[in-house]
A and B are shown apart, each in its own frame.
Chain A
Amino acid sequence: MYPENFRYTKEHEWVSVEGGVGTIGITHHAQGELGDIVYVDLPRAGTVVAQGKTLGSVESVKAVSDVYSPVSGEILEVNELLTNSPEKLNEDPHGAAWLVKLHLSAPDELLHLLSSADYQIYVGEKA
């Protein structure tokens, strides 16, 4: 369920890194807690975000939840799929429904994030 090569936050975001580019999303646990997702608000490409600061927001039928960036960097690409199909976040949060790709400005930040095993213990989804 939670890919080994991702790193996770206690705020339920994930990041996977390849060649200095991080892909960011929210976790399966987060989408389950939110319920039906109906709207996603993300920054434009070119925006610089800092670790732990608001990246955007995800709205379910009932509520608005902020998404915090797991790492610092400059946004390279925003997932256009979510503009018209926010429900994909419920269906494939670790795959097709990624939120943004960014150029990592401080790769060391990854060291402070949770591993897949630690995240699953944190959310109580592992014996």
Chain B
Amino acid sequence: MSQIPALKTTPLNAVHRRMNAKMVDFGGWDMPVQYSGILDEHHTVRNAVGVFDVSHMGEIEVRGPDALNLVDYISSNDASRLKIGQAHYSGLLYEHGGFVDDILVHKVDDDHFFICVNASNQQKDFDHIVRMNNMKAKVEFASDRYAQIAIQGPKALDTLQKMTATPLASIKYYHFTDCEVAGAWARIARTGYTGEDGFEIYIAPDEASGIWDKILEAGAEFGIKPCGLGARNTLRLESKMALYGHEIDASINPLEADLGWIVKFDKDGFVGKAALEKQKADGLSRKLIGFEMTGRGIGRDGYEVWLDGKPAGFVTSGGPSPTLNKNIGLCYLPLEAAEVGRTIQIMIRNQPVDAVTVPTPFYRRAK
């Protein structure tokens, strides 16, 4: 008899259940999909502040004199340009140029990098990095050492500032600092997956529920709400942030995914460089583009996209945009058609429904 493996849980699992979150199996993790409702949580993040448990995300640490050399070899962005206390988004690629994962690389010290990776890819990512480590860097699977909480929205800074003496306004976008939050050690990064200002904090797992409660307390005056993965997805889609398994996977490279900015061709050899150079010289066959439904219906993940009466691709992510009050999505189209202003059809339950390609991101916050 085969047994269904138990779902993995974060240190905040009991908190979610106590707070009556609706829980779902998210890639093998028992995670909250919503608390008060996806629309309410979405608007709360856009207008005030929301807090998310993202402890399912993985962490990998690379240390030693060869740390930079290894990170620069496995990552498509240029880690040598990072200053201590700075982070950037990057691709962990295969030799053929497709994504192993998309990652956030933090430079903690000259000989120490901290990499945040996707929950369901963490073991694969770790194995990949270890396999590529033909140097003397030390690669550590560190996911068990960290819980992660995201505080996102225009009131995120005011909320978190009440819990730490460190002046948060001095942490620039995509920078981080190690400091105390509510008396506990924390790595505070000004990063996020919502398109709003905000922070992602890495803390010890046994501090997670105490800090979670204190964040809710600190944010109460701003109308803070706990948010689930449902709102996280609608928020990131409006901001056109890629989701592994949707916009990117092993069969898709960063140039196709409109992520050419994370590929630094001017740096020395990195995994995938040769394949991407060839792809660039030969020209792309397809590219990611945004669309907006013009007919009645919602184009969703996996629905077929038609162009000039023929199937041309699939929706990678699609759904309602609560901020814009439109139905939006992303899809791959043949390069010659991947331009703004094209009429396409999304097949919704065997009926073609009109949509038009539009500029992205769909939503950009006012600076």
- Interfacial residues, chain A to chain B (CB-CB below 8 A): 35-36, 38-39, 41, 57, 59-62, 64
Are B349 and A62 interface neighbours, CB within 8 A? no
Q: Which of A59, A60, A61 contacts B322 (CB 8 A)?
A: A61
Q: Which residues of B contact A (CB under 8 A)?
A: 22, 33-34, 37-40, 230, 233-234, 297-298, 300, 319-320, 322, 327, 349
Instruction: Please give, as numbers and ranges, the residues of chain B lying within 8 Å of A38 by CB-CB distance.
Output: 298, 320
Q: Would you call B37 and A35 a contact (CB within 8 A)?
A: yes
- Contacts between the two chains (Cβ within 8 Å), count: 34
Indicate if the CB atoms of B22 and A35 lie closer than 8 Å.
Answer: yes
A contact residues around B34 at 8 Å (CB): 35
A59 and B319 alpha carbons, distance in the complex (Å): 10
CA distance A1 to B302 in the complex (A): 37
How far is it, in angstroms, between the C-alpha of A38 and the C-alpha of B328 when the chains are bound? Answer: 13
**Residues of chain B within 8 A of A64, CB atoms compared:** 298, 300
Given contacts A35-B22, A38-B298, A39-B297, contact A62 B33 (CB under 8 A): yes
B298 partner, pick from A35, A36, A59, beta carbons under 8 A:
A59
* Best-surrounded residue of A39, A61, A64 (most CB of chain B within 10 A): A61
With A61-B230, A61-B320 already in contact, the answer to whether A36 and B349 are too (CB < 8 A) is no
CB<8 Å pairs between A and B, sample of 28? A35-B22, A35-B34, A36-B37, A36-B38, A36-B39, A36-B40, A38-B298, A38-B320, A39-B297, A39-B298, A39-B327, A41-B297, A41-B349, A57-B349, A59-B298, A60-B38, A61-B38, A61-B230, A61-B234, A61-B319, A61-B322, A62-B33, A62-B38, A62-B230, A62-B233, A62-B319, A64-B298, A64-B300
Chain B, residue nearest A60 (CB): B38
Docked CA distance A99–B39 (Å):
23
A residues in contact with B297, CB < 8 Å: 39, 41
Q: How far apart are the CA atoms of A14 and B213 in the complex, in Å?
A: 41
Report the nearest B residue to A57, measured CB to CB. B349
Instruction: Provide the bound-state CA to CA distance between A35 and B39, in Å.
Output: 9
Known: A61-B38, A64-B300. A35 touches B320 (CB 8 A): no
Residues of B within 8 A of A57 (CB): 349
Q: B38 to chain A: which residues have CB within 8 Å?
A: 35-36, 60-62
Which residue of B is nearest A83, CB measured? Answer: B296
